[in-house]
Amino acid sequence: MSSLTAEDVVKLFEADVRSRKRMAELLVSEPDMRLAIINAVLRDVATKSDIEALRAATKSDIEGLRRDVSELRERVSKLEGAFTQLVDRIGDLDKRIDSLDRRIDSLDKRIDYTTKVSWALTISVLATLVVQFILMFLRIH
């Protein structure tokens, strides 16, 4: 003869819905059992004070989030201002660079002209010296 285990009893109740309902009715009809069941269920049920505490914590979290978002907006606004200033400064730098490029081009042209004039003067001085040297040489002979 085999002994019936608690596991076997649970399996029997799982298989027989009518017996399971009857067992629940028997448990609930017993005042001590009903109180034990109610106390066990109440541990899992949120009370009004639990809900109030949760509401207060949620409200506090939302207010903190609002402050954080407000601070973030201020920081973003400051960053936008700094970015605008930076873009303006870059624009000014571009203008200055363009101006410097034009001045360098102008100086480059002047240097080229000065170099050509210097070569022309140097060649004319050398030509004059060569001519004088030739004339001196011809007079001597």
C-alpha torsion sign, points 117, 120, 123, 124 = negative
Spell out the per-residue pLDDT of the chain, length 141, in tens. Answer: 578 899 999 999 899 999 999 998 998 899 999 999 888 888 888 888 888 999 999 999 999 999 999 999 999 999 999 999 999 999 999 999 999 999 999 999 999 999 999 999 999 999 999 999 999 988 887
Q: How far apart are CA 70 and CA 47, in angstroms?
A: 34
Helix, strand or coil, per DSSP, at residue 22: helix
Helix, strand or coil, per DSSP, at residue 47: coil
In the prediction, which pLDDT does 71 show?
A: 97
Indicate the pTM of the whole model: 0.45
In the prediction, which pLDDT does 1 show?
A: 56
In the prediction, which pLDDT does 80 show?
A: 97
Contacts of 23 (CB under 8 A, 6+ apart): 13
Q: Which DSSP symbol is given to 30?
A: S
In the prediction, which pLDDT does 50 show?
A: 87
In the prediction, which pLDDT does 20 show?
A: 92
Q: How far apart are CA 41 and CA 59, in angstroms?
A: 28
